[in-house]
């Protein structure tokens, strides 16, 4: 696909942004945090999405149909781990009274509903402005988006290390207003990490920076193989 400019939502590391720029495509990062010094727009994207949905002026006014949004949407309330918090016997609430436990579960449910509604609004906004959109989220057996979401993922990576990342965890990508291209590159990353060894987020709703990281090798492979359809000078084509 052709991309005039890339807007990387919920990315503050600059990983995808910088790989786009290396390929000659202008790119910017948008996130509520700027701990890496790479965030071009330190902004509350949830607020921007919800405001544009009701017709207010937002950052979306400056995004054209020739652009691409890659949204690493927070998975805090969709992930496998989050489902355990709804269990009455969850160890984190073992000292709660029955009323406290119910209130805790109800709040988690409200928070998840807010995240899900904002995700749907993002998709709707992009359909209205005809902007290409790619959404990334983890993909496990208990992942909330497996059941009744807008559509099935366009791509699923069951082992990201096979495509150049240092995490093995399964990941899904949804393409809206566009389709993935069909090249495959093997680019091995020597450094491996385990999700369980990573630090947690600073608070609920804020993803752990370490757990959210994607290697530059994976980013380059994904951009070239699945977004641009651009054969790389390095690496080799796989038989997948």
pLDDT 10s digits, 66-81: 999 999 999 999 998 8
Please, what sign has the CA dihedral across residues 206, 41, 8, 36?
A: negative
Cα–Cα distance for residue pair 192/165, rounded to 1 Å: 8
Say if 133 falls within a structural domain. yes
User: What one-character DSSP code corresponds to residue 60?
Assistant: G
Say if 217 falls within a structural domain. yes
Question: What is the reported pLDDT for 196?
Answer: 43
Question: What is the reported pLDDT for 10?
Answer: 98
Cα–Cα distance for residue pair 108/187, rounded to 1 Å: 39
Statement: residue 205 has pLDDT above 90: no
Q: Are strands 185-186 and 236-237 parallel, antiparallel or unpaired?
A: antiparallel
Cα–Cα distance for residue pair 147/116, rounded to 1 Å: 12
Task: Report the range of poorest mean pLDDT among 76-85, 104-113, 204-213.
Answer: 204-213
Say if 57 falls within a structural domain. yes
Question: What is the reported pLDDT for 166?
Answer: 84
Q: How far is CA 124 from the centre of its chain?
A: 17
Question: What is the reported pLDDT for 138?
Answer: 94
Say if 193 falls within a structural domain. yes
Say if 1 falls within a structural domain. no
pLDDT digits (tens, 9 = 90+) for 28-38: 999 999 999 99
Give the domain range for residue 144. Answer: 6-237
Say if 190 falls within a structural domain. yes
Cα–Cα distances in angstroms (integers) from residue 103 to residues 76, 174, 194, in the given order: 18, 33, 33
Question: What is the reported pLDDT for 147?
Answer: 87
What's the number of domains the chain is made of? Answer: 1
**How many H-runs (helices) and E-runs (strands) does the chain carry?**
6, 9
Global confidence as pTM: 0.87
Task: Report the range of poorest mean pLDDT among 4-18, 73-87, 109-123.
Answer: 73-87
| Of the candidates 220, 228, 214, 215, the residue with the CA atom closest to the CA atom of residue 183 | 228
| Predicted confidence band of residue 210 (pLDDT cuts 50, 70, 90) | low
Say if 169 falls within a structural domain. yes
User: What one-character DSSP code corresponds to residue 27?
Assistant: E
Say if 53 falls within a structural domain. yes
């Amino acid at each position: 696909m052709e991309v005039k400019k890339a807007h990387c939502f919920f990315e503050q590391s600059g990983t995808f942004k910088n790989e786009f720029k290396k390929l000659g495509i202008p790119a910017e990062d948008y996130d509520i945090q700027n701990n890496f010094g790479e965030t071009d727009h330190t902004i509350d994207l949830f607020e921007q999405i919800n405001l544009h949905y009701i017709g207010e002026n937002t950052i979306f006014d400056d995004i054209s149909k020739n652009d691409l949004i890659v949204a690493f949407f927070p998975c805090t309330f969709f992930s496998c781990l989050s489902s355990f918090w709804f269990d009455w016997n969850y160890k984190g609430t073992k000292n709660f009274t029955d009323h406290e436990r119910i209130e805790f579960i109800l709040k988690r449910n409200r928070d998840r509903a807010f995240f899900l509604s904002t995700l749907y609004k993002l998709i709707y906004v992009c359909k209205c402005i005809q902007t290409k959109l790619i959404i990334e989220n983890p993909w496990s057996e208990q992942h909330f988006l497996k059941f009744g979401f807008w559509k099935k993922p366009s791509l699923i990576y069951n082992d990201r290390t096979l495509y150049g990342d240092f995490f093995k965890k399964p990941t899904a990508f949804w393409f809206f207003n566009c389709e993935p291209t069909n090249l495959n590159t093997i680019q091995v990353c020597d450094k491996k990490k385990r999700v369980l060894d990573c630090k947690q987020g600073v608070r609920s709703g804020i993803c752990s920076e370490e757990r959210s990281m994607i290697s530059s090798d994976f980013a380059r492979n994904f951009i070239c193989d699945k977004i641009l359809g651009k054969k790389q000078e390095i690496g080799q084509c796989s038989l997948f």
